[in-house]
Amino acid sequence: MKSTALVSLLLWSGLSAACGGQGDHDGKEWTKEELDELEAKWGFDWPFSGIGSFAHLDHSKCLTDPSVNYDIAIVGAPFDTAVSFRPGARFGPRAIRQASSRQTGFRGFNARASVNPYQNWAKIIDCGDIPITPFDNNIARDQMTQALTELGKRKAVSALSPKPKLMTLGGDHSLTLPALRALKEIHGRPIRVLHFDAHLDTWNPNAYPSYWGATQFTHGSMFWMANQEGLLSNSSTEASVHAGLRTRLGGTEWVDNEDDSSQNWVRFSADDMDDMGTQGIIDGIMRVLGTEDPVYLSVDIDVLDPAFAPGTGTPEPGGWTTRELIRVLRGIEGLNLVGADVVEVSPAYQGRGEETALAAAQVVYELLSSMVKRGMKEMGKEVVPETKQKLLKAAGKSNGKDEL
Ligand SMILES: *[C@@H]1O[C@H](CO)[C@@H](O)[C@H](O)[C@H]1NC(C)=O
Ligand SMILES: [Mn+2]
C-alpha cells in the first residue's frame, strides 16, 4: 500500500488546503518526514490485516486508469459459465487472494528460488478483476480478450521487460483462449504453451454429443480453438507440452491422443512422475520448450490429486502432490515466460483449510519468483543459493544478505 497510500495522503492534504483548511488537521502541510513516520507507524500489514489484494500488493483498478504501469500484474478473471461439470470457479480469484495472505514482501524470500519476488526489480501489483458477464459467453470472451490485451500492452516500468507480464487468476480454463488471443496481438506471433492439467483441453467441441450444435468456447476446447485461430506455434511437431495428464479418453481407442499429437502437443502423464521423477519431467519439458522461445504457462489446479486440490471443477484421482508440482515449477524456471494463469479453483468444493486455494497461491508465488529471477539473470545479477552463500561466508565474503 506504500506508494498509493502516500499519493492519496498528498492528494488529501492538497485538497483540504484548497478547501480552506477543512479536514481534521486544519489544512496542515505534511512534511515528507511526517509522512514517512506515518508509513513506518501504520504502513505494515500483518498476514491477517488489510484489504485482500494478492500478497498484500498495491492494488489499482488498472482497466479504468490507463496511467497505471507495472512489470507484472495479477489479474482476476472470475468466470465459470463454460464448464462441463461443477461450476464455482468464478469465486477462484477471491479465494486465491485470501489464501495468499501469508505472502508478504516483508517475509517473501523464496528459499527454493533464492529470490524475493516482491522486493526486487519488478513492480508487481494487483490489477483487480475483469468484470466478466455471467450471462453471455460470447460477450464474456470478448471482455476477457479486450481486457487482457489492454493490460498486456501497457508500457512496463523496468527497461528489463519490454512488455509487462500478466498473471491471471481463474476462473474456468476457457479464459486461456482470450489470454492467447491477447498474446498474439501483443507479440505479433504464435506462442508455445506449457499446460499442467489432468485433461487435454484440445478437444474439438464436436467431440461432445453435438446434435444440438456445439459452442466452441468451453473449458475443454480452448486449445483446439486456439490452434484453429493460429494462436499456437506449429513450428515443430513438438511445439507445446501437457504435463500431469490422466483424463479418460473418448470412445474405445486413442483418437483423442492422436488428435492432440496432430495439434503438435507433447504429453507427460501423471504416472510419468513415478517412472521419471520430478527431474525427468523437468528435463522432458525443457528439452521441448528450451529457454528462448516465448512460452505461456497455464496451470489447471486439477493437475493436483483431489487429496491436495479437491476444490476444482473436474477432479481426477491419481494426480501429483503439491510438493511435486512446486518442484517441477522450480526446475523449469529457465523458461521464457510471457504470461501465465492459474485456473479452475472452485472454492466451494475445497476443505476448510483452503488447501486448493493455498496451492494455487503458492503456484503464483513460484511463477512470480521465476519471472523475477530470469530478469535478474538478464541484468547480470547473481542469484546466490544458500549452499553457495555459506561457502562465501566461510571464505569471509558476504554479499551483505543476512541469514534470518
Ligand atoms: C497450425 O495448424 C492449424 C491446423 O492444424 C492451422 O489451423 C493454424 O493456422 C496453424 N497455426 C499457425 C500459426 O500457422
Ligand atoms: Mn483444464
Secondary structure of 166-200 as H, E, C letters = EEEEECCHHHHHHHHHHHHHHHCCCEEEEEECCCC
- On the question of pLDDT at 396 being above 80, the answer is no
**Ligand (nearest to CA of 242):** 2
Between 233 and 25, the higher pLDDT residue: 233
User: How many whole angstroms from 232 Cα to the centroid of ligand 2?
Assistant: 16
Q: What is the pLDDT of residue 32?
A: 97
Residue nearest to atom 5 of ligand 1 (CA): 263
Instruction: Give strand pairing partners of 342.
Output: 169, 299
Phi first, then psi: give them for residue 156, nearest 5 degrees: -70, 165
Q: Edge-to-edge, what's the strand order for the sheet holding 294-300?
A: 124-129, 72-77, 165-170, 336-343, 294-300, 192-196, 240-245, 265-269
Tally Cβ neighbours within 10 Å of residue 160.
15
Between 159 and 156, the higher pLDDT residue: 156
pLDDT, tens digit (0-9, with 9 covering 90-100), for 286-325: 999 999 999 999 999 999 999 999 999 999 999 999 999 9
Helix axes 322-331, 355-378, angle to 10 degrees: 10
Nearest in space to 181 (alpha carbons), one of 242, 143, 215, 226? 226
pLDDT (mean) for 57-63: 97
Q: What is the pLDDT of residue 380?
A: 84
> Are the CB atoms for 354 and 314 separated by under 8 Å?
no
Q: Which of 12-21, 24-33, 146-155, 198-207 has the weakest average pLDDT? A: 12-21
Q: What is the pLDDT of residue 208?
A: 77
Rounded to 10 degrees, the C-alpha dihedral 82/88/90/95 comes to -150
User: How many whole angstroms from 216 Cα to the centroid of ligand 1?
Assistant: 16
- On the question of pLDDT at 227 being above 60, the answer is yes
User: How many whole angstroms from 123 Cα to the centroid of ligand 2?
Assistant: 29
Residue nearest to atom 13 of ligand 1 (CA): 230
Instruction: Give strand pairing partners of 295.
Output: 192, 337
The secondary element (H helix, E strand) that includes residue 317 is none
Residue nearest to atom 10 of ligand 1 (CA): 230
Task: State whether residue 347 is helix, strand or coil.
Answer: helix
Name the one residue in this structure whose C-alpha cell is 473418448: 250
**Ligand (nearest to CA of 264):** 1
Phi first, then psi: give them for residue 51, nearest 5 degrees: -75, 145
pLDDT, tens digit (0-9, with 9 covering 90-100), for 354-386: 999 999 999 999 999 999 999 998 888 888 888
- On the question of pLDDT at 235 being above 50, the answer is yes
Q: Is 202 close to ligand 1, i.e. is its CB under 6 Å away? A: no
Beta-carbon contacts of residue 381 (< 8 Å; ≥ 6 apart): none
- On the question of pLDDT at 169 being above 70, the answer is yes
Is the Cα dihedral 152, 157, 163, 167 positive or negative?
Answer: negative
pLDDT (mean) for 400-404: 46
Nearest in space to 265 (alpha carbons), one of 240, 295, 298, 243? 240
Q: Judge residue 33's burial from the number of C-beta atoms within 10 Å of its C-beta, 0-12 exposed, 13-18 middle, 19 or more buried.
A: exposed
Q: Point out the ligand 1 atom lying closest to the alpha carbon of residue 234.
A: 1
Rounded CA separation 112/65 (Å): 36
Single-letter amino acid code for the residue at 128: G
pLDDT (mean) for 96-121: 96
- On the question of pLDDT at 8 being above 60, the answer is no
Q: What's the mean per-residue pLDDT of the chain?
A: 91
Q: Which of 32-41, 53-62, 157-166, 351-360 has the weakest average pLDDT? A: 157-166
User: How many whole angstroms from 227 Cα to the centroid of ligand 1?
Assistant: 6
Q: What is the pLDDT of residue 390?
A: 82
Rounded CA separation 77/221 (Å): 18
User: How many whole angstroms from 95 Cα to the centroid of ligand 2?
Assistant: 18
Task: State whether residue 296 is helix, strand or coil.
Answer: strand
Alpha-helical runs (H) found in 290-354: 322-331
**Ligand (nearest to CA of 240):** 1
Q: What is the pLDDT of residue 15?
A: 43
Phi first, then psi: give them for residue 128, nearest 5 degrees: 75, -160
Rounded CA separation 195/288 (Å): 13
User: How many whole angstroms from 283 Cα to the centroid of ligand 1?
Assistant: 27
Q: How far is CA 330 from CA 37, 235, 335, 364, in A?
A: 39, 26, 10, 12
Q: What is the pLDDT of residue 116?
A: 97
Evaluate the omega torsion of the peptide bond into residue 230 and state whether it is cis, within 30 degrees of 0.
no
Beta strand segments in 7-84, E = 72-77
Q: What is the pLDDT of residue 395?
A: 83
Name the one residue in this structure whose C-alpha cell is 519471472: 371
> Are the CB atoms for 244 and 319 separated by under 8 Å?
yes
Q: Is 235 close to ligand 1, i.e. is its CB under 6 Å away? A: no
Cell numbers for 27: 489544512
Pocket test for ligand 1, best of 183, 228, 234, 261 (most atoms within 8 A of CB): 234
Q: What is the pLDDT of residue 4?
A: 46
Q: Is 264 close to ligand 1, i.e. is its CB under 6 Å away? A: no
pLDDT (mean) for 156-169: 91
User: How many whole angstroms from 39 Cα to the centroid of ligand 2?
Assistant: 43
The 3-state DSSP composition of the chain as helix, strand, coil percent (nearest 5) reads 40, 15, 45
Q: Is 228 close to ligand 1, i.e. is its CB under 6 Å away? A: yes
Pocket test for ligand 1, best of 227, 235, 240, 296 (most atoms within 8 A of CB): 227
Rounded CA separation 218/210 (Å): 13
Q: Is 190 close to ligand 1, i.e. is its CB under 6 Å away? A: yes
Q: Point out the ligand 1 atom lying closest to the alpha carbon of residue 263.
A: 5
Phi first, then psi: give them for residue 165, nearest 5 degrees: -105, 140
Rounded CA separation 200/322 (Å): 20
